[in-house]
Amino acid sequence: MQRAIGYTDFGHPRSLIEERPARPPIIGRIRPGIKILTKAARANQAAVKIHDAMLARGESFEAIGNEIERKTKLRNALVPKNTGWFTCRGSDFTNPAIADEILQKYGEDRGDGLKLWRFPVVFAFDDWMANLPNQLKSWSTRGLQYFSEYGADGKRYCKMYAAPEVDQRAQRAKRLFGGRTIILRQDDAIPDGVCDPHHCPQYQERKCNLSANFIFAIPAIRGLGLIELPTNSIYVLQKAYAAMQTVALARGGRLAGLHFWISKKPVDITRIGEDGLPMRQEQMLTILDAEIDLGALLDGADQMTSALEAAGPAVSLLEGASSDVGATTPIPVIDEPDATPIPPPMEHSVDSEDRESKLADLAARLGMSNGQERVDLLTFARLTYGPGWTKRPNDVDGMIGEMQTALANPLAFREQVRARVCEASLPV
């Protein structure tokens, strides 16, 4: 009889949706500043009236600009302006109530109304690039014209959308399936498709710029998706990258689940003026920070490693038995409750070698013998029993007892361990 086919048996796309790269759902956007009327637009009374009325209703800046252009024929009537706070408006969210909830929970009134000056965020991914995707982009009146992507060879390429083929019989463009075709840009300026801003006319004319987005969730804010915060500053990108890499180093590569904070800070930066000379200028930059005791995290990780290494063969307890103890046959992990019988409690009279063997076997059966799961289990043990627990037989027996009980539901135990480790790394 043929066995039943489960969903886990499919290792290839099963839907048109799964053929395309997965993107996290976005439910709203927080902006790093505002847009104001240009000098020409301020001289037009009709444009000023439209701007003030729509701004009071909480309309988006795009909608305001489009309405001004429609009624007054003024194009690009709004220009960006950096501020010390972030703009959080209902028109930028799929559910406008979310913006109000964010402002009520994290907004501050510093004398000019309730504004979002600083707020906590939680990243959903351990890969920093997934939390802060970025590329160079050039826009035209018809949309995205050119954009950069890295190839497998590590080079940055300039890409574009191919022009659709024309159906000669129907005398119209052929219908596209699966999205527009992406090709390398190859023209007189970029003949080999390699993105070179020094020789790119769009970049030199300031039509091609850095485009990046922080993608995150906000604690205690409900919604089936993430929120984005755009930036086009290389300084913001560099500082955020440094912050994420520092935290990842202290947490064994993990970024997801930790509370970061986003705020604005005036920073002196150096830029090249039109005359080619460097000049200092103050800018309000978006700053990513985390209220964690980095020294304690690094020291705790170091103490954990030292304690385990000092225990000799005990360091192998989460990797399998060492050569001094003898080979232990790993047992496949089974996540279903009651699938693995619970052994009777272990007697405290067992010797250290037997303890090491049992710990190694239990870790393998729980699916926590290597990788990040191993690091989490080590941290969990130290949080529960304190530094040097591997040298105290009673604490080792206690850990063995917990792991034996966990065999009834390994998945739940792994989630419990992960939650305890994440909680320990959160700011007090």
Alpha carbon 4 to chain centroid, angstroms: 37
**Do residues 246 and 294 make contact, with C-beta atoms less than 8 angstroms apart?**
yes
Count of CB atoms situated within 10 Å of the CB of 115: 16
**CA–CA distance, 356 with 340 (Å, rounded to integer):** 21
The tokens describing 342, both together, are 């619970």
User: Reduced to 3 states, what is the DSSP secondary structure of residue 278?
Assistant: strand
Say how many C-beta atoms besides its own lie within 10 A of residue 277's C-beta. 7
What is the band of 427 on the pLDDT scale with cuts at 50, 70, 90?
A: low
Which helix (H) or strand (E) segment holds residue 260: the answer is: strand 259-272
The residues, any chain, with a CB within 8 Å of residue 86's CB and separated by 6 or more, are 30, 31, 32, 33, 115, 116, 117, 119, 229, 262, 264
Inter-residue contact 73 to 60 (CB < 8 Å): no
Burial state string for 24-45 with b = 16 or more CB within 10 A and e = fewer than 16: beebbbbbbbbbebeeebeebe
Residue 103: what pLDDT? 95
Structure confidence by residue, pLDDT tens digits, 128-161: 999 999 999 999 888 899 999 999 898 999 999 9
**In DSSP terms, which residues pair with 161 in a beta bridge?**
182
Q: Which amino acid is at 301?
A: A
Beta carbons of 100 and 88 less than 8 angstroms apart: no
Q: Report whether 315 contacts 397 (CB < 8 A).
A: no
Helix axes 234-250, 294-310, angle to 10 degrees: 30
Q: What is the pLDDT of residue 297?
A: 61
Higher pLDDT, 189 or 325: 189
The DSSP symbol for 215 reads E
| Cα separation, 315 vs 323, whole angstroms | 12
- One-letter amino acid at 397 equals D
Asked whether residue 391 carries a pLDDT value surpassing 70, the answer given is: yes
Which pTM does this prediction carry? 0.66
CB 52 within 8 A of CB 67: no
Which region among 182-186, 242-246, 347-351, 363-367 has the lowest average model confidence (pLDDT)?
Answer: 347-351
What pLDDT shows up at residue 323? 37
Helix (H, G, I), strand (E, B) or coil at 412: helix
Among 4-18, 211-225, 279-293, name the most confident range.
211-225
Tokens of 246: 């520092």
Do residues 41 and 77 lie in contact, with contact meaning Cβ atoms separated by under 8 Å?
A: yes
What is the reported pLDDT for 343?
Answer: 45
pLDDT of residue 290: 85
Got the DSSP string for 132-173? S-EEEEEEETTEEEEEEEE-TTS-EEEEEEPPPPEETTTTEE
Q: What is the C-alpha separation between 292 and 255, in angstroms, rounded?
A: 13
Do the beta carbons of residue 414 and residue 368 sit within 8 Å?
Answer: yes
Mean per-residue pLDDT for 260-283? 84
Bigger pLDDT: 318 or 48?
Answer: 48
pLDDT of the residue at 349: 42
Give the pair of three-digit tokens for residue 180: 């527009």
Q: What is the pLDDT of residues 20-45, one digit of tens each?
A: 777 889 999 999 989 999 998 999 99
